Amino acid sequence: MTTSDDAFQDHYPENVAQCYGCGRLNEHGHRIRTCWDGDETVTRFRPEPYHTSVPGFAYGGLIASLIDCHSTGSAAAAMYRQAGRDMDSQPPFRFVTGSLHVDFLKPTPLECELELRGQIKEIKGRKVVVTTSVLADGVVTARGEVVAVQMPDSFGS
Ligand SMILES: CCCCCCCCCCCCCCCC(=O)SCCNC(=O)CCNC(=O)[C@H](O)C(C)(C)COP(=O)(O)OP(=O)(O)OC[C@H]1O[C@@H](n2cnc3c(N)ncnc32)[C@H](O)[C@@H]1OP(=O)(O)O
């Protein structure tokens, strides 16, 4: 059963909860948590000093990783919402990244909490396109677009 305090990632089945960006069971990962805010999705993340690129600023790979997992989680949640289904219902909608595009608009400061806000641009068949902005102190520093695709049964084979 979904409650208002739940993050999407709380509902990932254990066998897909090891992702470096969003798996709640990966103690070395970012373990992001994403929720709905109206029709947008929100993740908040505070970078660590070791996420440095240029001193004082966040590494671009971190930003891309946050956009990636924020967006795939948003895609899954959007699919459940469209289907009118609870996120624990079966069978699960599992998404992987088909493409990830990131524009780095401004340097992203390291010493503040980042806010990622996602919008569902398109749902078509097994594909969900999500646009995600990264904000630092209310300023958009990066913008990404992810094509998330429902994981085929043959994934990995
Ligand atoms: C909430 C509780 C529930 C549980 C929720 C569990 C979630 C659990 C996830 C945990 C994990 C997290 C994940 C993190 C994010 C990674 O880091 S995932 C790892 C990185 N990604 C990968 O390894 C993916 C590797 N690629 C693949 O496996 C396959 O290429 C894909 C992406 C599944 C697509 O293959 P396919 O299923 O054969 O796709 P296909 O039928 O050809 O295309 C379907 C649609 O997608 C589009 N598409 C496919 N590839 C692309 C592309 N590269 N560019 C643009 N469009 C594309 C196609 O054009 C097509 O669109 P339409 O023609 O319908 O408009």
Q: In the predicted model, is pLDDT for residue 54 greater than 90?
A: yes
Rounded to the nearest angstrom, the distance between the alpha carbon of 32 and the centre of ligand 1 is: 20
Question: What is the complex's ipTM, to 2 decimals?
Answer: 0.94
**Ligand 1 atom 7, closest CA:** 94
Rounded to the nearest angstrom, the distance between the alpha carbon of 97 and the centre of ligand 1 is: 5
Structural domain boundaries in the chain: 34-82+93-150
Residue 51 CA neighbour count, 13 Å, CB half:
23
- Can you give the pTM of this predicted structure? 0.96
**Ligand 1 atom 21, closest CA:** 97
Whole-number pLDDT of residue 4? 59
Exposed e or buried b per residue across 44-57, where buried means at least 16 C-beta atoms within 10 angstroms of its C-beta: ebebeeebebeeeb
From the options 3.10.129.10, 3.20.20.70, 3.90.1720.10, 3.10.440.10, give the CATH code of 34-82+93-150.
3.10.129.10
Q: In the predicted model, is pLDDT for residue 3 greater than 90?
A: no
Whole-number pLDDT of residue 136? 98
Q: In the predicted model, is pLDDT for residue 58 greater than 90?
A: yes
Q: Ligand 1 pocket: which residues have CB below 6 Å?
A: 8, 11-12, 16, 19, 21-22, 68-69, 72, 76, 87, 92-99, 124-127, 147, 149, 152, 155
